[in-house]
């Protein structure tokens, strides 16, 4: 299994390097993220991460050709919170015997949030009407931080739907599927709020940092919900 995993990932890395000119450092960061998921969670978590990046890249290539290729900063912005939450849960589990399961679910939830937010951003560009700011509802130009549109929200819901279908197919616990799936739309809306409130007012907070902050908040919310329900 491990040999097959490494072989497949090397082939994917070569494909991205040759066709999309992705640098090897960025590919290595994705590899590290996937390897942590493979070792500590399961192969399905790895497939989900690869599916996220694959679908995001395809949609970007089709709908937003002006968008530059993603680099390691994009990867860390979208997956960094997932690693922070999981590593925190792993340490707390070893030291205080805290339930690691909820941190695994929250970790996957942050990926779901990043996935839905990416689809929302890219598909939202197709909107005929100008979007509105999520905190003021004033009309703004497409691509403005914190702007939302109906088609963008549909994009976020599509991300949640794809996530739900994926985890249903691999027969995850239905409660976990619900928590991970709803994280998509929750995370997308949080990203818009943080973009409008933080990113627009602080030049040091770029889109990658905003993605990290919003996905981290989403993961924490899922931990709280899990604690209340279970």
Report the alpha-carbon distance of residue 77 to residue 106 in Å, rounded.
16
**The whole model's pTM is what?**
0.90
Residue-level pLDDT at 203: 67
Contact 110, 219 (CB under 8 A): yes
Domain count, the chain: 1
Residue (of 147, 80, 159, 70) closest to 117 by Cα position: 159
Backbone angles phi, psi at 139, to 5 degrees: -70, 140
- CA atoms of 32 and 67, how far apart (whole Å): 25
Tell me the residue range of the domain where 174 lies: 2-229
Q: What one-character DSSP code corresponds to residue 68?
A: P
The angle, 0 to 180 degrees and rounded to 10, between the axes of the packed helices 43-63 and 2-19 is: 10
CA distances from 148 to 35, 107, 112, 162, 165 (A): 35, 25, 18, 21, 25
**Can you give the pLDDT at residue 108?**
96
Instruction: Decide: residue 154, CB within 10 A, 0-12 exposed, 13-18 middle, 19+ buried.
Output: middle
Q: Which of 26, 17, 20 has its CA nearest to residue 71?
A: 26
pLDDT for res 69: 66
Mean pLDDT of each 10-residue bin along the chain, 230 residues long: 65 68 79 84 87 85 68 89 95 92 96 95 88 91 88 95 95 92 96 88 82 96 93
**Closest C-alpha to 145, from 105, 96, 200:** 200
């Amino acid at each position: 299994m491990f040999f097959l995993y490494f072989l497949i990932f090397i082939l994917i890395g070569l494909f991205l390097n040759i066709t999309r000119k992705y640098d090897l450092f960025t590919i290595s960061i994705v590899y590290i993220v996937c390897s942590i998921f493979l070792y500590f969670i399961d192969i399905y978590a790895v497939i989900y991460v690869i599916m996220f990046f694959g679908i995001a890249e395809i949609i970007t290539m089709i709908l937003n050709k002006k968008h530059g290729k993603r680099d390691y900063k994009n990867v860390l912005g979208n997956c960094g919170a997932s690693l922070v939450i999981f590593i925190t849960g792993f340490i707390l589990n070893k030291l205080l015997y805290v339930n690691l399961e909820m941190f695994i679910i929250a970790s996957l939830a942050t990926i779901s949030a990043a996935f839905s937010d990416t689809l929302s951003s890219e598909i939202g560009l197709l909107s005929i009407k100008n979007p509105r700011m999520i905190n003021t509802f004033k009309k703004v130009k497409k691509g403005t931080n914190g702007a939302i549109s109906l088609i963008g929200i549909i994009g976020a819901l599509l991300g949640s739907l794809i996530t739900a279908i994926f985890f249903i197919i691999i027969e995850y616990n239905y409660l976990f599927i619900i928590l991970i799936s709803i994280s998509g739309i929750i995370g997308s809306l949080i990203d818009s709020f943080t973009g409008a409130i933080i990113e627009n007012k602080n030049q040091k907070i770029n889109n990658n940092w905003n993605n990290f902050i919003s996905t981290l908040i989403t993961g924490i919310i899922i931990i709280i919900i899990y604690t209340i329900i279970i």
